[in-house]
Structure 1
Amino acid sequence: MKCSVISIDLAKNVFQICALDEKRQVLFNKKVKRTQLLQELALFEPTLVVTEACYSSNPWGRRIQALGHTVKCVPAFMVKPFVVGGKNDRNDALAIAEAALRPKIRFVEIKSVEQQDIQSLFQIRQLLIRQKNALSNQLRGLLAEYGEVMPKGYVHLRKLLPDVLENPNNELSNISREFFHQINDNILAISNQIKEIETKIESLIQNKPSHQRISQIPGVGPIISSAIHAFVNDASAFKNGRQFSAWIGLTPKQYASGETNRLGNITKRGNSALRRLLIQGSHILIIHCEKTDTPFNLWLRQLKQRMPRGKCVVAVANKLARVIWHILAHDEAFSQEKVCY
């Protein structure tokens, strides 16, 4: 059977398939069981198959690609405006097809198993960091109730806690000392797990040409480099560096009407994990820019003098995103002179 586009509303057990012809007329819109999906798609000549970007779109996308079809994923927020009528699988499948045919829709690329491995490690790492911070804050709060006030930051807690627990002159009881020891052991174990994950992430991307190029950029280490590899399939899919930076959410909101044009805070849309890493890298660069007189550090010092700290951090993160895009899209090496031009 020949059709111009097939849309699939993915689910857990029962999927909805909608097919449109070249005139965008519905050929069929039916339910298919999970075990029958690939058999059903194998009956069609190679065509465009679109799904909504969701938790299972990557594995299904790879399986459908193996049948010879071209697979694209539409972001969920771009599908919603095309839903006509009530919320049901038939309307959702038709809306996915309609959205995919719009000329300005930006699709989500199907990720490889390797990219999903790195993403999984990132998610586990972030979970462990939250657990570590929660335990550290809880331990600091409990110590304060016994009159032992700790400075902010886990570094100070790790350094001072052994002396506090071994001090017989404070008000800590034997019970509290025992449980505080256990909490501290848990924090140390989580810290070791985080280091192991970071080592694993670095080993997965250390031989990648893209990593070797962008790791030369100041503020871009193995974690940011691996995040780029995991979340960005093809940098050339973005028209320019500003579009890439906007995808990460580092460009300002625009309020324009008639002759009025105002820019607000950054949009914070897109990939929050990648945006957070770039912001953290920018903080480190600004802190250490006084140590050496490289062209990039000299540019950072001038930037610090022109704008407030927070705005400066976001500006540097925006700059890093654009430099990363340029290096990946044009297959070039990093040059500080070009960056600071």
Structure 2
Amino acid sequence: MIRVGVDIAKSVFQVHGVDRHGKTQWQGKYSRQKWLDGLSRKVPAGAEIGMEACASSHHWARELQKRGYHVRLIAAQFVKPYVKSNKNDRVDAEAICEAMSRPNMRFVAPKTVAQQDIQAAHRIREELVGQRTAKANQIRGLVGEYGIIAPVGIQQLRQALPGWLEDAENGLTDSFRALLNGLAEDLRYLDDRIVESVRKNPVAKRLMTLCGVGPLTASALSGALGDGKAFRRGRDFAASLGLTPKQHSTGGRDRLLGISKRGDSYLRKQLVHGARAVLRHVDGKDDGLSHWLKGLASRKHFNVATVALANKTARIAWALAHGEEDYDEKLAAAGA
């Protein structure tokens, strides 16, 4: 056997192995605890093992690589066209095995533990941001009952909280002051951890030199890129984030639509927000990239220029990670 498709799940794993002629040689169902040993007994080291890029796939990819196998992770939407008739685990494993044999198939690079740690921190933070907004609105409503009007914006609210806690004449009780003090500390710990990870990560430190990239965006970029070897070029990385136009062309007539919005929505949002901040403060700057931005903004809508800069930032980030180079402002302007 040279190729095995594995349909992974929480408890039951279905495998489908073929030889070099594409003939089925092995089909089996194993429990979570036994499937790796069963595969090692049946399949020689060096064979290709394919799985859908879903929950726990990166963990199993690392375990298979330790045993000497070549792992291919495939996005679920690329496997679906190869599913025959009714869907079940056995048919899914066969479809994965068939999809990974296609010469032009796109694969997902297995992530390292460090990359998953970074992405986990950002996912937790993204959820907490929503909770923070809800709590901030709750604080505004609660202090309003005491006759205190909260300022607009999270940062202004944070700055106002210590004053409310120290003011002994504003009518707040001791128990309510203790509650406010706890709410004020909700996100500080996680934000500090992400900033600390940037200081220790050489790739993230290089990425922070880009315009519109702060500690959070640099950390998220380093988690998605790794060493950059998963993408052949910067345009592929930008396309994976949904920063390139959708296409609906036929009959030799090209028709480009809005951006595809595929891939990591969190990282795309961070890049777009950073680009928007750069574009708002571009006046008065005299570097090459700023000249390009000014010219683009004069011809296109503000949002179009924003996404164009986010796209460029993603491509430059890939170049810095892939080539292990420092940011060169002249090269960025030359490619504008």
TM-score normalised by the shorter chain: which range applies?
0.7 to 0.9
1:17 to 11, 15, 18: 15
**Which residue of the partner structure matches residue 185 of structure 1?**
181
**Which residue of the partner structure matches residue 87 of structure 1?**
87
**Which residue of the partner structure matches residue 154 of structure 1?**
154
In 2: Cα distance, 1:259 partner to 1:110 partner? 37
Give the conservation status (yes or no) of the 8 Å contact 1:18–1:28. yes
Q: CA deviation at 1:145?
A: 7.1
Q: 1:219 to 1:100 in 2, by over 3 A?
A: same
Q: Does 1:76 align with 2:76?
A: yes
* Range moving further from structure 2, 62-71 or 214-223: 214-223
**Which residue of the partner structure matches residue 41 of structure 1?**
39
**Which residue of the partner structure matches residue 289 of structure 2?**
296
In 2: Cα distance, 1:191 partner to 1:241 partner? 33
Q: Does 1:279 align with 2:277?
A: no
Q: Gapped runs of 5+ residues in structure 1? A: none
Q: 1:97 to 1:318 in 2, by over 3 A?
A: same
Provide the alpha-carbon RMSD of the alignment.
2.5
DSSP 3-state at the match of 1:261:
coil
Q: Provide the TM-score with structure 2 as the length reference.
A: 0.88
Q: CA deviation at 1:146?
A: 7.3
Q: 1:174 to 1:339 in 2, by over 3 A?
A: closer
Percent same amino acid at aligned positions? 35
In 1: Cα distance, 2:160 partner to 2:326 partner? 45
DSSP 3-state at the match of 2:34:
helix
DSSP 3-state at the match of 2:327:
coil
Q: Does 1:211 align with 2:186?
A: no
Q: CA deviation at 1:318?
A: 0.7
Q: Deviations over 1:11-48 (max 9, x none)?
A: 12221111011121211211012221221122221200
Give the conservation status (yes or no) of the 8 Å contact 1:128–1:194. no
* Range moving further from structure 2, 268-277 or 256-265: 256-265
1:26 to 24, 33, 40: 24
Give the conservation status (yes or no) of the 8 Å contact 2:198–2:205. no
Q: CA deviation at 1:160?
A: 4.3
Give the conservation status (yes or no) of the 8 Å contact 2:198–2:204. no
Q: Gapped runs of 5+ residues in structure 2? A: none
Q: Deviations over 1:167-190 (max 9, x none)?
A: 978xxx767x954x4553233111
**Which residue of the partner structure matches residue 305 of structure 1?**
298
Aligned residue runs from structure 1 range 1-341, under 5 A: 3-43=1-41, 44-46=43-45, 47-142=47-142, 150-160=150-160, 179=176, 181=177, 184-205=180-201, 208=202, 210-290=203-283, 292-341=285-334
In 2: Cα distance, 1:261 partner to 1:183 partner? 59
In 1: Cα distance, 2:81 partner to 2:145 partner? 53
Runs in 1 of length 4+ with deviation above 6 angstroms?
162-165
In 1: Cα distance, 2:230 partner to 2:240 partner? 11
Amino acid at match of 2:24: V
Amino acid at match of 2:102: R
Give the conservation status (yes or no) of the 8 Å contact 1:121–1:201. no
Amino acid at match of 2:26: F
Q: Deviations over 1:256-275 (max 9, x none)?
A: 12254322211110111221
Give the conservation status (yes or no) of the 8 Å contact 1:65–1:71. yes
In 1: Cα distance, 2:183 partner to 2:284 partner? 33
Q: Provide the TM-score with structure 1 as the length reference.
A: 0.87
